[in-house]
Structure 1
Amino acid sequence: MAYQFKKRIETLLKEGRHSKKSLYDTLEMTAPGFEYMLKHNTLSAKRVEQIAAFFQMSVAELTESQQVGKPVEPATFGAQVADRILLEFEKLREQLAIKDKQLEAADRKLEAAMETSKGLQRTIDALISRPGVTAGSNFLNDVAAGRSVIRMHPATQLIIEARGAVA
Structure 2
Amino acid sequence: MSDVRTPGVDGLAAAPGIVAAGPKVVMLTTFDLDEYVHEALRAGAVGFLLKDTPSRELAAAVRTVAAGNAMLAPTVTRRLIGSFAERGPARREAARQRLSRLTEREAAIVREVARGDGNAEVGRRVGASEATVKTHVSRALAKLGVANRVQLAILVHDADLLE
Larger radius of gyration: 1
Higher relative contact order at CA 8 Å, sep ≥6: structure 1 or structure 2? 2
